Amino acid sequence: MEKTLLLLKPDAIDKGVSGQIIDRFEKRGFKIAALKMVQLTRNQAELHYCEHTDKPFFEELVDFITSSPLIAMVIAGENAIKASRIMMGSTNPIDAAAGTIRGDFALNIRKNIIHGSDSLISAEREIKNFFTEKELYL
């Protein structure tokens, strides 16, 4: 069973759509292995976005993700990474299809509602940044 990290970003919390988003993953058949609301520290955010350190938008990413609480969750199921990324839709909500999370709930690339790990390696690193082994169920 594959696991992946999902973050319902501060804009999902502000809009009050986090429950609807979680519901979509449960209805799809994924199991929630861990879930918590957290306020990220700058260090956690920088580690989370470490692959973007040299990009011009890095500071903006870190500032946004640390601006207010978010919901971190680990889901588990068959092809969890690929399936969840399809459910999320394109990173830029303007390009995201209706029916996807970003297509339905987001308006711009800076505040695009949700993050999902893009590979097994990223999922493993990102899960460890948010959860201890004891916090994971399954």
User: What's 84's domain CATH number?
Assistant: 3.30.70.141
What value does the mean pLDDT take over residues 113-137? 96
pTM of the model: 0.96
Establish whether 57 is an annotated binding residue. yes
Residue 46 belongs to some domain of the structure: no
Residue 119, pLDDT score: 97
Establish whether 110 is an annotated binding residue. no
Residue 120 belongs to some domain of the structure: yes
pLDDT digits (tens, 9 = 90+) for 42-88: 999 999 999 999 999 999 999 999 999 999 999 999 999 999 999 99
Establish whether 9 is an annotated binding residue. yes
Residue 75 belongs to some domain of the structure: yes
Residue 48 belongs to some domain of the structure: no
The one catalytic residue in 113, 115, 117, 127 is 115
Q: How many domains does the chain have?
A: 1
Phi-psi region of 23 (alpha: psi -120 to 50; beta: other; left: phi over 0): alpha
Residue 131, pLDDT score: 97
- Is 115 part of the annotated catalytic residue set? yes
Query: For residue 7, what are the domain limits?
Result: 3-36+70-135
